[in-house]
Amino acid sequence: MFTGQIPYLSKSVGTFDIKLKENLLTDSVSGSLINLPCLNNISLSNNKLQGPFPKFPNIVENIVVNGTNNFCNNNGDPFDLQVTTLLEIVGGFGQCGYSESRKEKLGRNDFAGDCESYEVEELSE
């Protein structure tokens, strides 16, 4: 059983069938997975995925994402820019060993550690 984020797969350009169903994968479905040029079938059912519902290109014929996932919308339409920005910020926490979904106040902190840097204007209360 796999846990955590879906691995970065953008270099797997020949991959045409991905079955990651019935795991404990978290976070949102990234562009590295959605944009695989040969992807034809994908199954992500029964994980703990969240964020926007993935919108795969027309080349992907079989998409199965039902079950225990927690997507914010069900049609693949884009979110408001503020929601998208917040999802990008939260997505970065998984790279710092922060993979569980929790409610946190981010004001008055002095973050440190090996995280990717993000351009954030203000995280105060």
Structural domain spans, the chain:
3-76
**Predicted local distance difference test score (pLDDT) of residue 90:** 67
Residue 21 has pLDDT above 50, yes or no: yes
Higher-pLDDT residue of 96 and 20 is: 20
**Predicted local distance difference test score (pLDDT) of residue 95:** 47
Name 5's Cβ contacts closer than 8 Å, sequence gap at least 6: 25, 26, 27, 30, 94, 99
Q: What is the pLDDT of residues 43-95, one digit of tens each?
A: 999 999 988 788 888 889 998 988 888 887 655 566 666 666 776 776 666 54
Higher-pLDDT residue of 122 and 111 is: 111
Provide, rounded to the nearest whole percent, the portion of the chain with pLDDT above 90. Answer: 22
Burial 83-94 (b: 16+ CB within 10 A, else e): eeeebeebbebb
Residue 26 has pLDDT above 70, yes or no: yes
Q: Judge if pTM exceeds 0.85.
A: no
**Strand, coil or helix: 91:** helix
* Structural contact between residues 35 and 58, judged by C-beta atoms closer than 8 angstroms: no
Q: How many helices (H) and strands (E) does the chain have?
A: 2, 7
Beta-strand pair 17-19/41-43: parallel
